[in-house]
Structure 1
């Protein structure tokens, strides 16, 4: 089909096509329109951006125009159901353009906004209702929308609808549709078993049309593969995103949880990124998308199906953090870049476990994707990304010693890692610093000399004497009998000689380095010095 002239469209529709800028049918339109205009049910397999909206909008408008009936209040004649507000608004715009010269009214109803204007529109009579499942059920439950007169039903983005958990809502809505005299058009980018089962329950004597993404979409995208281990994926991605050439990017993960985790990791490395998936609220998705479009964030971390709602043309890079389990999804993913005649870049991070999937992808795309050597290990990345260590709170001074033998004291002997015992991997030394030891213990362990001056005694309210004071502790009172350590985070030294305790409580010299917690052997340091780095950027410990 070279143009729309041979389809027998009504003249107002032909005028609408011209006004909207349609010149010739896309492959999905060329296959679906003849059957749909003839009143047949249609099962269409095509991703977003192939022109499928017009493939069902034209038959809906033509059928309503031929029927020459108008909708009654609360009783729409056609129902178009989509999973998200973004898609619903886009489809509403297409109906406005194509139906410009027709007398029909359409309304877009979705959550996240007041329901009252939507109720008012339905009360006035709506020919074409474009709806998301949640808000439509709200309207049905209130008796403001009745589906008894629906003669045209379109379910778009069916796989995404089910991925978002809308299957029960879809079944509830479908149960209210007329069984006879209804034409159904069902569109999905993929056809897993649950989607296929839903399609079979809705369609009768249908025509199946399928469109493979054009090869030119892949040809103008520079693709590459980086082979690495699982532990190297996050640091390698951080380094890639740090390149100024990456202006805007979509990063694909296999799961919603993985998208959340990776977005948090990138934010921890100082790279602006938001997660974008079906479990996010509608408002959260809109905020993330608005920030992305405005350039406030450079990257969106998304799942396959959610990303189809992203209508952004200027995406310079696509990163496959996880390879898709369905090879066709690879083409859908990288098709987010290289749009409007521009070049794009797609990079896949491939672990040894992913290599069978990579072979399947290359079979589907009929090309060998160039390989690159494994990115340098985290040691080459960490010095560039290591933030300054935040200032440490100053430990309070003036801890009082507890004389040996007082009731309630704890023994210095115990389990490994408790008071008086070394942690695993530490040298068995009696003077090993503990994370909760006084500051002077830490400083002495790191080679910082302790000052000679003792701190001034902190004024204390009078307390009853509990026995003689030990030598060298004038000006300090022991805690009351049976008293537990203070709850304010002040470290207490139990079962230590009084003279040693007094020396331990001496303050550091002015300008002395702040103490750091004793490091576990598994933690490595960077060349830039220090041991503080986001955990996800650390290399795995070597046994």
Structure 2
């Protein structure tokens, strides 16, 4: 199947083909027809499976076909972080380059003045983080009374990050009659209950079970004492001096501490997490994407905004205590058929986490010996 088979209009097809996309991913193949059919949807798919295009493409098509309608914001995409908002904005720009639709992105951590001016100039599609959106609603800058399409993206992280009350406030500002698209990488019971409470007869799409890891990823684990993890990481990084490597820690403090230790060892790196200013996070991400730095230390929530096509290696400096998170982490590498490497460190306190991860993915991760 290719995108032409999904009844996508020519201006969007031309934009897709221009960047070399031909075949839709499984989530796109299933979700796009449902959205174009104007049905509510619950989409569950891992990071890196093409979720954004699965709602961006049909939203652009629906709004383009209804351009004669009243002016005002017609589509709202709600997402947890600035990085994701920018990523989604880039997708809308890409797929909508041959259309006259306008989109605006608003998020916290920067001055609101420029964003306010952009909203006042008018837009059809608004991409927003919850806090800044509520600020601008309260200032009467943003009005959501004409919303036809509402997207809740990365719903699990949104609710994990404590945005539930903000989301409920925003929902009261939306028209009762609208199409709601709910996308999430995981679907725990409480997330599913919340989805069912805000959607109307939704069609559910599940793609790539959360327990699966790409066959193109070479996985390995080092058993190492906690106090020796820094030394092992430095050894591995010096062995791969030119490779871009994403390193996961459990905590924000741990990420910052690791950056300092690497700097002392002569390795340039940066941390990306929730306590960093938006500008600092974006700068670190850009430096990583452009190879100004080769090592990025991240916590799980902040990493949701990282979208890099060719990432050779992921290191789990600390194993996650939620097994599914392991799958999401290593899914940053080995994308689109490319080869990737996922290295994990496991100390005595993490052996139970490792057992749970191996149970979830269905095989034992090969052990590598520490050679310092």
Root mean square deviation of aligned Cα: 2.7
**What TM-score do the two structures reach when normalised by structure 1?**
0.62
Q: Name the residue aligned to 1:485.
A: none
Q: Name the residue aligned to 2:341.
A: 345
Q: Name the residue aligned to 1:486.
A: none
Task: Give the superposition deviation at 1:354.
Answer: 2.5
Task: Give the superposition deviation at 1:29.
Answer: 0.9
SS of residue matched to 2:2? coil
CA distance in 2 between counterparts of 1:151 and 1:71 reads 11
CA distance in 2 between counterparts of 1:265 and 1:201 reads 47
Matches within 5 A, 1:285-364: 285-339=281-335, 342-364=338-360
State whether residues 76 and 150 of structure 1, in contact with CA within 8 Å, keep that contact through their aligned partners in structure 2: yes
State whether residues 159 and 305 of structure 1, in contact with CA within 8 Å, keep that contact through their aligned partners in structure 2: no
Task: Give the superposition deviation at 1:183.
Answer: 0.7
Task: Give the superposition deviation at 1:281.
Answer: 1.7
Task: Give the superposition deviation at 1:152.
Answer: 0.4
CA distance in 2 between counterparts of 1:311 and 1:156 reads 15
Cα deviation, 1:102-130, whole Å, max 9, x if unaligned, reads 33222222334443343333333311111
Larger proportion of helix: 2
Q: Name the residue aligned to 1:120.
A: 117
Q: Name the residue aligned to 1:161.
A: 158
- Pairing partner for 2:141 from 132, 139, 144: 144
Residue 215 and residue 168 in structure 1: after superposition, are their counterparts in 2 closer, same or farther (change >3 A)? closer
Task: Give the superposition deviation at 1:154.
Answer: 0.6
SS of residue matched to 1:242? helix
Residue 33 and residue 232 in structure 1: after superposition, are their counterparts in 2 closer, same or farther (change >3 A)? same
Q: Name the residue aligned to 1:228.
A: 224
Task: Give the superposition deviation at 1:213.
Answer: 6.9
Matches within 5 A, 1:377-392: none
**What TM-score do the two structures reach when normalised by structure 2?**
0.88
| Structure 2 residues without counterparts, runs of 5 or longer | none
Deviates more, 1:237-246 or 1:325-334: 237-246
CA distance in 2 between counterparts of 1:266 and 1:281 reads 21
Deviates more, 1:114-123 or 1:80-89: 114-123
- Pairing partner for 2:170 from 173, 179, 191: 173
State whether residues 152 and 184 of structure 1, in contact with CA within 8 Å, keep that contact through their aligned partners in structure 2: yes
Larger proportion of strand: 2
Aligned residues: 372
State whether residues 81 and 156 of structure 1, in contact with CA within 8 Å, keep that contact through their aligned partners in structure 2: yes
State whether residues 79 and 128 of structure 2, in contact with CA within 8 Å, keep that contact through their aligned partners in structure 1: yes
CA distance in 1 between counterparts of 2:274 and 2:161 reads 5
Task: Give the superposition deviation at 1:280.
Answer: 1.9
Task: Give the superposition deviation at 1:268.
Answer: 4.0
